[in-house]
Amino acid sequence: MKILLMGNPNVGKSVIFSRLTGVHVIASNYPGTTISYTQGFMKLGEETDEVIDVPGTYTLEPTSEAEEIALQLLNTGDIVINVVNAVNLERNLYLTLQLLERGIPVVVALNLWDDTKHRGIHIDLDKLRELLGVPVIPTVAVTGQGIKELVENIPKAASPDIPVRSRDERWAIIGSIIDQVQHITHRHHTWLERLEDASVKPLTGGIIALAVLASAFLVVRFIGESLIGYVLDPLFNNLWAPVVLKLSNLMGGGGFLHDIVAGKLANGEVNFVESFGLLSSGLYVPLAMVLPYIISFYLVLGLLEDIGYLPRLAVLMDTIMHRLGLHGYSIIPTLLGLGCNVPAILATRILESKRERFIAATLISIGVPCAALQAMIFGLVGQHGGQYVAIVYGTLFVAWIILGIILNHVVKGFSPELLIEIPPYRLPPWRTVLQKLWMRTYGFLVEAIPIILGAVVAINILYFFGVFDAIASFTAPVVSGLLGLPKEAVTALVIGFLRKDVALGMLAPLALSAEQLVVGSVVLAMFFPCIATFVVLLRELGIVNMLKSAGIMISAALITGGILNLIL
């Protein structure tokens, strides 16, 4: 039997899915994170049944790609668990009625039940069950309350004989249901609700946004630098370096195979950044230079997601995003891009038009450095002073704005108004936050380490055959003349196609000035996405639009790099 979890975005479907199946999925307090459906299995009696977490949808009349996927999956299911936000019962019931009209067995999970008490909302459960004709179970997904009762009622899912109605008829019936089952009592606003209101007002919301983003930046840097300085650097220098040196001696201290495995050693010492061996740079770059910032960034991002701040930031940014041909929704994929561009571009599916998806994906690839690249920017450029890091980020932000304005005028189409679910502020369970942190960190390691190790091998082979020297000579007029970088920097630009953070690390041995590092960092960030992002762009945009996007990236990177070189 196939059981579908369906509901509006941000009603807690993914958390209920995790409770039912034991599969630890990412559950976020904003729409769009479940754009790709997730499968799992649960034991129901003596049978093992398939459970699918369907992308969030407001209606069975699709207005976006996520809703189209939800409708397609509905046609494959045997039973639907309709997850409903008890605090927004009136709006959620529209999808419920549409599901009932389909004649598929339904059981309703009335989630966020604890919030109804906090907000003075009283719901007559028996009357609601009578009017809908299906089991209605109150649940609190984050604590597990009601999940056992929900499972017990799955076999009792009902499909009452309800005719297909028009949109107006459905809203009339919903109004009647709400009048009969819901009663709201007056109460004073809590300080948390006052903070919710202040978060979306232009003046106070702007101040809060600046404070939140500045605090997030400082926390990410503090945790990242602390992990590097007090944990990982001592481990590599005191424990791992002697192992690499011993292996180097066993391999004769030099040669092609030695350089691939242990790397090039200087004066009998291991330089983990510059040696480019599998066991030196191949492990140090992802584990000691990048991973600490990945952990700190995803921890902060997970907290902002689950507390419920990101949707408010989307509302606050709506006016600005419209100037770029987008709406406030786009800030969510953009912020995801600060972790990794791949899920960010996948998240652009929540946008309603191909035009918006093209603009958003292109701007993310150009102006939003991933966490791994940011780690290298902090590590290399930050050594020369925080002002140079600020120049890198300021340049990327200005380029992001200017390109967005240009694309808004050049790419035909329109940007629809913002319709977004805003959850209440709530403190997430640490178990959920840490689960999400582990999944994202594990995903980075699984993806990054093989690519970095492969890049190390490829670099050594290409160096051995003199390929980089030939490319460097051919591109010297652009790299040296336009960008003001030594011709050897072309190696980093080529490797940037595999992994941008590795590419930026390759600038370290070139003894560049602070200004040259700024130019190199900006060009690498804007130039061309890593191979994983390139594959996703191809899949999401199609080959024609992907080539257009790539052309914009290359042009923007060279123009911006040339201007920076002239200024600095």
pLDDT, tens only, 481-509: 788 888 777 777 777 766 677 778 778 77
Q: From edge to edge, which strands make up the β-sheet containing 79-85?
A: 38-44, 47-53, 2-7, 79-85, 106-111, 136-138
For residue 552, the model assigns a pLDDT of 92
Instruction: Considering only residues 347 and 324, tell me which one the structure prediction assigns the higher pLDDT.
Output: 324
Q: Locate 236 and state its tokens.
A: 């590599």
pLDDT above 50 (res 462): yes
Q: What is the pLDDT of residues 153-185, one digit of tens each?
A: 999 999 998 899 999 999 999 999 999 999 988
Grade residue 533 by pLDDT with cuts at 50, 70 and 90. confident
Grade residue 18 by pLDDT with cuts at 50, 70 and 90. confident
Average pLDDT rounded to a whole number, residues 503-527: 84
Q: How many CA atoms lie within 13 A of 428 on its CB side?
A: 24
For residue 372, the model assigns a pLDDT of 75
CA distance 441 to 237: 23
CB atoms closer than 10 angstroms to residue 431:
10
Instruction: Considering only residues 45 and 517, tell me which one the structure prediction assigns the higher pLDDT.
Output: 517
For residue 99, the model assigns a pLDDT of 95
119 close to 425: Cβ distance less than 8 angstroms: no
Instruction: Considering only residues 395 and 344, tell me which one the structure prediction assigns the higher pLDDT.
Output: 395
17 close to 51: Cβ distance less than 8 angstroms: yes
Task: Work out whether the CA dihedral 101, 106, 110, 111 comes out positive or negative.
Answer: negative
Average pLDDT rounded to a whole number, residues 46-66: 84
335 close to 38: Cβ distance less than 8 angstroms: no
Grade residue 132 by pLDDT with cuts at 50, 70 and 90. very high
- Mean of the per-residue pLDDT values of the chain: 83
Q: What is the pLDDT of residues 335-378, one digit of tens each?
A: 778 877 776 787 787 676 788 889 989 999 898 888 778 878 88
Q: How many CA atoms lie within 13 A of 199 on its CB side?
A: 21
Q: What is the pLDDT of residues 259-312, one digit of tens each?
A: 888 888 777 777 776 677 888 878 887 788 778 877 887 888 888 888 888 878
Q: Locate 328 and state its tokens.
A: 């406030």
Grade residue 532 by pLDDT with cuts at 50, 70 and 90. low
Instruction: Quote the DSSP letter at residue 63.
Output: S
CA distance 444 to 529: 16
pTM: 0.66
Instruction: Considering only residues 448 and 331, tell me which one the structure prediction assigns the higher pLDDT.
Output: 331
Grade residue 314 by pLDDT with cuts at 50, 70 and 90. confident
Looking at this protein, which amino acid is placed at residue 177? I
Q: What is the pLDDT of residues 405-420, one digit of tens each?
A: 898 888 876 655 555 6
For residue 380, the model assigns a pLDDT of 83
> Using N-to-C axis directions, what is the helix angle for 386-410 and 531-567, rounded to 10°?
110
Grade residue 149 by pLDDT with cuts at 50, 70 and 90. very high
CA distance 519 to 36: 37
Q: What is the pLDDT of residues 196-250, one digit of tens each?
A: 888 888 889 889 988 987 888 788 778 888 998 899 999 998 999 899 888 888 8
The SS3 call for residue 38 is strand
CA distance 218 to 222: 6
Domains with residue ranges and CATH for the chain: 2-184 (3.40.50.300), 202-567 (no CATH)
For residue 39, the model assigns a pLDDT of 81
* Torsion, Cα of 521, 523, 527, 533 (10° steps): 10
